């Protein structure tokens, strides 16, 4: 199969192929180049043309909670079975956003491994899921009521990490702060978490949005800092020097603040929404911090990946186009925004040899969008078709006639 479009953006942050084509064979990218040349070289291959469109790698959402059920209107009725059905629906909808890989950074125990199993058996269709299993917090800490594992002291943290890995976790997730300036783990606990994860060959992500938690997590050497909402320029430089990765989740805080403004005076919102409204000043300050500081932080050279973390009621699954739009609006060049949502995510997940670029030998995880995101990043909302390992998993029937 040959896919042809007005342009191909390879995902490396610099390469654009005008009037390009991708040759897909046995689920992998066999060739990339000029459309006419590939047609001539493979005259018997079927051709799919996307006039006016752009081909790029499948998108990678680096901050997702596929099993977050607490904001559902009937949350009190949920059990493990309903959570699994919710998650299965969630991951399938990700394809409509062009997302082919998800890093889940805390869902109920065993859920992501079970969803991966179901997808492997062909029971459901789902993107590739890289999971931390349940996050780890201190007793009564951030997300304790949402299924995070409570652990106090360095050895309890190590034991929780080991238990998650026993259940199939590919990453580790630590909750180091919430919406105040009080750190939720001690320096010794944070260092133990990083040491234990790295000792057994796992990378570790940390929720750290406030000070001094951000600095504590940089010093401890977490592989990814999630949110980093009130990060300083000097801290971003430290991250760049240490090779740590920033997953800002701008959309989560900015859209949540908009949600708060829309629902502030309503009485019938869920407990998650109510907690957002109660902390409206924090979300206002967070949205402002991203708007004012993102460009300065990006200019330090810190590696940035794209994650969404949208969990309020009726929110869309993996709305990565929102995050990409904010990144571009706040000062990141569109080519680099696309790299943040593709190649950089794959490199951070250590699956860059599998996916993340339109390149020969990579798995044919491909998204086609209607329009040119280099001119208008908003066209990332308009996914025409998504392929996972060369298989069509989403098609916008309106755009394909």
What is the predicted pLDDT for the residue at 401? 44
Contact 39, 369 (CB under 8 A): no
What SS3 state is found at 391?
Answer: strand
Rounded Cα–Cα distance for residues 132 and 111 (Å): 11
Contact 309, 63 (CB under 8 A): yes
Residues of the chain falling short of pLDDT 50 = 401
Rounded Cα–Cα distance for residues 312 and 219 (Å): 32
Q: Please report the sign of the dihedral spanned by the C-alpha atoms of residue 66, residue 69, residue 74, residue 78.
A: positive
Contact 233, 212 (CB under 8 A): no
Q: How far is CA 72 from the centre of its chain?
A: 21
Angle 111-121/80-94 helices, nearest 10 degrees?
A: 60
DSSP string of 91-157? Answer: HHHHGGGTEEEEEE---STTHHHHHHHHHHHTSS---EEEE--S-EE-TT-TTGGGTPEE--SHHHH
Residue 89's CB: how many other CB atoms inside 10 A? 12
Write the burial class of residue 150 (CB in 10 Å: 0-12 exposed, 13-18 middle, 19+ buried). middle
Rounded Cα–Cα distance for residues 54 and 337 (Å): 15
Q: Please report the sign of the dihedral spanned by the C-alpha atoms of residue 119, residue 124, residue 129, residue 135.
A: negative
Contact 230, 209 (CB under 8 A): yes
In order of their start, the domains of the chain are 2-57+358-395 (2.30.40.10), 59-348 (3.20.20.140)
pLDDT tens-digit readout, 87-105: 999 999 999 999 999 999 9
What is the predicted pLDDT for the residue at 267? 66
Contact 92, 126 (CB under 8 A): yes
Looking at 175-317, list the stretches that DSSP marks H as alpha helix, in order from N- to C-terminal side.
187-199, 213-220, 233-242, 250-263, 271-278, 280-298
Rounded Cα–Cα distance for residues 193 and 220 (Å): 9
Contact 336, 13 (CB under 8 A): yes
What SS3 state is found at 381?
Answer: helix
Q: What percent of the chain has pLDDT over 70?
A: 98
298: CB partners within 8 A, 6+ apart: 304, 331, 332
* Residue 337, H or E segment: helix 334-340
Closest CA to 319 of 308, 306, 331, 330: 308
């Amino acid at each position: 199969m040959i896919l042809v479009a007005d342009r191909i953006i390879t995902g490396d942050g610099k390469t654009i192929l005008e009037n390009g084509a991708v040759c897909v064979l046995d689920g992998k990218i066999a060739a990339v180049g000029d459309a006419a040349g590939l047609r001539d070289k493979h005259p018997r291959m079927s051709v799919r043309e996307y006039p006016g469109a752009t081909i790029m790698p499948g998108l990678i959402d680096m901050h997702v909670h596929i099993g977050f059920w607490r904001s559902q209107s009937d949350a009190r009725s949920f059990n493990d079975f309903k959570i699994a059905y919710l998650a299965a629906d969630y991951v399938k909808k990700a394809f409509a956003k062009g997302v082919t890989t998800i890093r889940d950074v805390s869902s109920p125990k065993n859920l992501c491994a079970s969803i991966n199993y179901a997808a492997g058996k062909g029971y459901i269709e789902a993107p590739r899921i890289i999971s931390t299993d349940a996050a780890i917090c201190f007793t009564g800490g951030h997300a304790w009521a949402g299924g995070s594992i409570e652990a106090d002291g360095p050895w309890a943290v190590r034991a929780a990490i080991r238990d998650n890995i026993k259940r199939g976790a590919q990453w580790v997730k630590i909750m180091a702060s919430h919406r105040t300036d009080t750190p939720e783990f001690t320096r010794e606990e944070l260092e133990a978490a990083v040491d234990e994860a790295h000792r057994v060959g796992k990378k570790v992500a940390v929720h750290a949005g406030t000070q001094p938690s951000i600095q504590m997590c940089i010093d401890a050497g977490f592989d990814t800092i999630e949110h980093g909402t009130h990060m300083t320029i000097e801290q971003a430089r430290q991250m760049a020097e240490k090779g740590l990765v920033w997953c800002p989740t701008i959309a989560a805080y900015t859209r949540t603040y908009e949600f708060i403004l829309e629902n502030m005076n309503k009485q019938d919102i869920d407990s998650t929404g109510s907690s957002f409204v109660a902390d409206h000043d924090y979300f206002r300050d967070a949205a402002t911090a991203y708007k004012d500081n993102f460009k300065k932080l990006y200019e330090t050279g810190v590696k940035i990946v794209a994650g969404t973390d949208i969990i309020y009621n009726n929110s869309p699954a993996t709305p990565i186009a929102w995050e990409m739009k904010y990144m571009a609006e706040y000062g990141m060049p569109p080519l680099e925004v696309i790299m943040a949502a593709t190649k950089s995510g794959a490199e951070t997940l250590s699956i860059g040899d599998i996916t993340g670029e339109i390149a020969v030998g990579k798995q044919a995880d491909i998204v086609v969008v209607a329009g040119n995101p280099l001119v208008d990043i908003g066209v990332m909302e308009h996914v025409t078709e998504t392929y996972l390992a060369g298989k069509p998993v989403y098609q916008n029937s309106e755009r394909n006639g």
